[in-house]
Amino acid sequence: MEEQQQHDEPMLKTCDSEATSSYQLGGFGVDAAIGESKRWLQSLEKSIRAIVSIRLLSVRAFDGNGASFSVATGFVVDMERGLILTNRHVVTPGPVVADAIFLNKEEVDLVPIYRDPVHDFGFFRFDPKKVKFLQLHEIPLRPEAAKIGAEIRVVGNDAGEKLSILPGILAKMDRDAPSYGSSTYNDFNTFYYAAASSTSGGSSGSPVLNIDGCAIALNAGGAKKAASSFYLPLDRVVRVLELIQQGKPVPRGTIQTIFRHTAFDEMRRLGLPGETEALVRQQFPQETGMLVVDQVIQGGPAHDQLRTGDVLIKFGGQYGATFLTVEEYLDAHVGETVEAQFQHGDEQYTATISIQDLHSITPDRYLEIGGGI
């Protein structure tokens, strides 16, 4: 089993590399490479003005995390309101004291304003008026620009070095959420992107940039003994950012169930009828599998209806449910019910499940007595 890590601690790392170059007769390949290099240079010159090194002190042990000091990365997504996007495991669910260091070494205090209850992203706020000697820049979020084969740059505080620029090629867009261990925070009910960009400690919260200087994903974690890095898609991040900008609350719905994406071959072994598979494949030719119930939380809205291994056929009346479409429906119908159709072996059944407010079961305060929580 591969070992993986969250990038929230400084980690020095040395490696040897050999410079290589390639040429193409006629000059066409060389001219194209020079033009592309200029575009990267221009976009990076702007982007690095939006990227900050974050120093944070977790002052209390909370939600599985101990009191600690660590460094990470974030980037400005709204310079007028002073909003910085980073990882949830950087913002942390507990009390934290943090500041940000800009490219020109100016420092500003950070205040956490949002931590997603499930996914690995959150927002800090700073006072833009405190940045006096740097022309601020904000990085636009473009989740739709993420494509397999896209050339990327992961820019951030890798290994605590303040600014590192790591290249890569986006290779996977349907990787399971990385597992960091049983006793720590793990994301779920989402795909992750993957590329061999060799990120390490301190690069949590770094933007994954394309050649246009847009963030197409958020760096979150990586393998300890390989070059693999894992990035959070930005689809739901964009929604939360827009609601924060409008001064509105962020509805989050849940049925307290963890799904896993499973290939069609495995679906057949779980009892999925061939005609159902054919229907889903016809309507969604890009799909390679379907969602299966992996865990149902005891006492939750679905605990007496769903069973591990049940295949999700329809959700909210729609075939081809994905992590994204399920979450969109849940977030838009908090406090209501949803009808979902499942396959359990040879049996097909419909469950009517209440959609719970996810924030209502997420701790946002604590009582400290005698030094304990």
DSSP labels, 191-220: EEEEEE----TT-TT-EEE-TTS-EEEEEE
% of the chain with per-residue pLDDT over 90: 77
Which tens digits make up the pLDDT trace of 77-95?
999 999 999 999 999 998 9
Averaged pLDDT for residues 339-352 = 95
Kindly provide the b/e burial profile for residues 124-159, where b requires at least 16 CB atoms within 10 angstroms of the residue's own CB.
bbbeeeebeeeeebbbebbbebbeeebebbbbbbbb
Whole-angstrom Cα distance, residue 373 to residue 368? 5
pLDDT band at residue 34 under the 50/70/90 scheme: confident
Q: Which of the following is catalytic: 43, 164, 200, 203? A: 203
Catalytic residue at 203? yes
pLDDT at 32: 58
Averaged pLDDT for residues 173-180 = 94
Whole-angstrom Cα distance, residue 289 to residue 267? 8
Q: Which of the following is catalytic: 89, 198, 204, 229? A: 89
pLDDT of 9 higher than 60: no
Catalytic residue at 89? yes
In the chain, which segments carry CATH 2.30.42.10? 253-359
CA proximity to 231, closest of 258, 211, 206? 206
| Whole-number Cα distances in Å, 55 to 10, 69, 96, 115, 210 | 10, 8, 10, 17, 26
Q: Looking up tokens 């040395």, which residue turns up?
A: 14
Averaged pLDDT for residues 32-61 = 90
pTM summary value: 0.89
Residues in contact with 39: Cβ distance below 8 Å, sequence separation at least 6, in sequence order: 211, 212
Averaged pLDDT for residues 175-195 = 94
Catalytic residue at 182? no
In the chain, which segments carry CATH 2.40.10.120? 1-14+23-250
% of the chain with per-residue pLDDT over 70: 90
Q: CA-CA-CA-CA torsion for 151, 157, 160, 161, nearest 10 degrees?
A: 80
Averaged pLDDT for residues 129-145 = 97
The CATH architecture assigned to 253-359 reads: Roll (2.30)
The CATH architecture assigned to 1-14+23-250 reads: Beta Barrel (2.40)
Which tens digits make up the pLDDT trace of 304-341?
999 999 999 999 999 988 999 999 999 999 999 999 99
pLDDT of 200 higher than 70: yes
Kindly provide the b/e burial profile for residues 200-217, where b requires at least 16 CB atoms within 10 angstroms of the residue's own CB.
bbbbbbbbbbbbebbbbb
pLDDT band at residue 22 under the 50/70/90 scheme: very low
The whole-angstrom distance between residue 42's C-alpha and the CA centroid of its chain comes to 26
Averaged pLDDT for residues 102-118 = 97
- DSSP one-letter code for 179: P
3-state secondary structure of 279: helix
- Are 170 and 148 in contact by the 8 Å Cβ rule? The answer is yes
| Range name among 32-41, 128-137, 207-216, 351-360 with the lowest pLDDT average | 32-41
Mean pLDDT for the chain overall: 90
- Are 60 and 371 in contact by the 8 Å Cβ rule? The answer is no
Averaged pLDDT for residues 71-81 = 98
pLDDT at 6: 53
pLDDT of 214 higher than 50: yes
Q: Which of the following is catalytic: 7, 47, 53, 120? A: 120
